[in-house]
Structure 1
Amino acid sequence: TVLVTDIVGSTERAAELGDRRWTELLAEHHRLVRTELDRSRGKVVRVEGDGTLSTFDGPARAVSCAAAIREALRGLGLEIRAGLHTGEIELAETGVEGIAVHIGARVASLAEPGEVLTSSTVKDLVVGSGIEFSDRGTHALKGVPGEWQVYAVSGVGADR
């Protein structure tokens, strides 16, 4: 399972705070993300500016982790968008590659501020986990064939 996150309004926030304070805030963002990933057995693949790409060996942990990251970052006054998809990935020198990574990124791009979105694949795989979803409709994902059903995470069980 891949998780893609992005800070909402990062350019405006960086301009407002100035380079030094923004750099400090980003460092704290990265620390909190890594802490939540460690708790959920996730792995950071890439950190690019204000965005992250992570992988998990289980979709329920990935969804729970995304929700935990969202809540932790709210404590810093940051909102994120997050997208998750489960599919085959290829290990590469730069981390991971494959259409699943692109789908995760496209799903994330559909998210409203503070929203964690998943593909229907993730939703189907976590049945029985206690995770709740709200339907966000069918979408074309740029560059990806077909229409994709997308769901927002509306509740997460206590177990991770």
Structure 2
Amino acid sequence: MRPIETRYARSGDVRIAYQVVGQGSFDLVFVPGFISNLDLQWEDEGYSRLLKRLSAFSRLILFDKRGTGLSDRVDNHHLPGLETRMDDVRAVMDAAGSGRAAILGASEGAPMAMLFAATYPERTRALVLYGGYAHFHKWVMPPERLEAFIEVAETCWGTGATLPNFAPGRVDDTHFARWWARFERLSAGPTAAAALARMNADIDPRGILSAIHASTLLIHRRNDARVDVCIHAGKGC
């Protein structure tokens, strides 16, 4: 596969890194989770396979959220709100020449995707939420587990120490663990990671759910390490 060109969209005073892959009949914007790195994601076989499959039937638009990956860094002590970060999606779509797109939000990217769909219904073809949630402490982790995660991020970031929180099934995969350590280092610094974790935990999009009118697909994998699908379904399974 030929190298993917990375471009930058201006959103206020910040530049947002993005890539466009594929020539499908409709645009699909992928809103990433906690952290991301446009270049590094293509080096992981599983991640790149997913992106190739998505770009096989769509014009796939990828980006790193402000403060992460290849996008401009931000003040970790004054992180922008969800509304500002959500508007980065609009800026990327404008730069990529996309007037209307399906929005795919994964994990922590789901609340941003929801807010975009509620704010820009005319630009939202459809909404897909993968491993998403509407309230962090209820569906992802309680406050005490969050503080434990933040302590790990602040003291061991860049070593791959957060891997059990995201992909516990691959902890013993030495090659992937090394890749994850690089992924941590090249996606954000330890201070930024801790600040982003606290910010994501405070996001609560439940108040805007009724404003979403786009056709919506919810996807969860069984035994998701990040979000418990049984809690979403209201079942004790």
**Shared fold, TM over 0.5:** no
Higher strand fraction: Structure 1 or Structure 2? 1
Q: Bigger radius of gyration, 1 or 2? A: 2
Higher helix fraction: Structure 1 or Structure 2? 2
